[in-house]
């Protein structure tokens, strides 16, 4: 894989060129730090087993802890999920793109690294333009854990992410300073809605949307 680590900041290039370069790194099995609505994320091609292993080793991820992914549009769900429960469709229409991660029934082909050896996969359609442009440029789901080693503070600047990983990350896609915590809201939609992580979108707002759709 080409060494792109020194050509990574968004202010060095036009955004389109920067996204294309980052997407090329992901397609080649590399690791990219990129901006989301709240924090910087650590991205690899979510369908590439070798890249997923690199991610786990870099982040020092605990075994069995699932990893959420970003999609570029709802059609990309076909690469990840068995079906979309009706209530999940309601929340997608109301809150996507946005900081809402939905846990849906995973296809058997989805890596256990992503599911945490379970049967669900966390997916999100980001409202950050660089994040979504990156996933669409790759054409495959991209992992979305925060860009920090386990136990360390999630970064809100590209400099903070660089301080953690340096040249172990292949490309840094700079989106400026991000708002930080709270992170995205995570809800399990495989049955009745269950909040796994409280975040930017309040659970009361989610429940109100579900009630209004009945």
**Tens-digit pLDDT string for the chain (214 aa):** 433 443 344 344 456 779 999 999 999 999 999 999 999 999 999 999 999 999 999 998 777 889 999 999 999 999 999 999 999 999 999 999 999 999 999 999 999 999 999 999 999 999 999 999 999 999 999 999 999 998 899 999 999 999 999 999 999 999 999 999 888 999 999 999 999 999 999 999 999 999 998 7
Residue 19: its pLDDT value, please? 96
Element (H, E) at 47: none
Spatial separation of the C-alpha atoms in residues 43 and 100, rounded to whole Å: 17
Q: 20: domain CATH number?
A: 3.90.870.10
For residue 74, how many other CB atoms are within 10 A of its CB?
14
Task: Identify whether the C-beta of residue 119 lies closer than 8 Å to the C-beta of residue 103.
Answer: no
Question: What is residue 13's predicted lDDT score, i.e. its pLDDT?
Answer: 42
Q: Is position 138 within any domain?
A: yes
Task: Report if residue 116 sits inside a domain.
Answer: yes
pLDDT of residue 9: 44
Question: Does the residue 99 lie in any domain?
Answer: yes
Whether residue 49 lies inside any domain: the answer is yes
Count of domains for the chain: 1
* pTM given for the model: 0.91
Which structural domain, as residue segments, surrounds residue 92?
A: 10-212
**Residue 4, domain member (yes or no):** no
Residue with tokens 């209530």: 87
Is residue 156 in some structural domain? yes
From the list 212, 209, 181, the residue with the least C-alpha distance to 197 is: 181
pLDDT (0 to 100) of residue 15: 67
Domain assignment present for residue 124? The answer is: yes
Q: Is residue 5 part of a domain?
A: no
């Amino acid at each position: 894989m080409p060494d792109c680590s020194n050509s990574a900041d968004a202010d060095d290039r036009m955004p389109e060129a920067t996204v294309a370069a980052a997407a090329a790194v992901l397609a080649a099995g590399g690791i990219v730090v990129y901006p989301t609505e709240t924090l910087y994320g650590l991205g690899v091609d979510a369908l590439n087993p070798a890249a997923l292993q690199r991610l786990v080793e870099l982040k020092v991820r605990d075994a069995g802890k699932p990893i959420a992914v970003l999609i570029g549009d709802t059609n990309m769900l076909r690469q990840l999920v068995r079906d979309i429960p009706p209530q999940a469709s309601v929340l997608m229409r109301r809150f996507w793109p946005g900081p809402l991660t939905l846990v849906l029934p995973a296809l058997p082909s989805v890596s256990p690294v992503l599911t945490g050896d379970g049967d669900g996969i966390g997916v999100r359609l980001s409202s950050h333009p660089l994040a979504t442009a990156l996933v669409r440029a790759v054409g495959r789901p991209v992992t979305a854990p925060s860009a920090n080693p386990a136990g360390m503070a999630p970064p809100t600047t590209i400099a903070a992410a660089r301080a953690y990983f340096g040249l172990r990350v292949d490309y840094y896609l700079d989106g400026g300073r991000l708002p930080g915590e709270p992170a995205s809201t995570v809800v399990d939609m495989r049955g009745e809605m269950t909040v796994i992580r409280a975040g930017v979108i309040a659970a009361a707002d989610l429940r109100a949307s579900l009630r209004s759709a009945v």
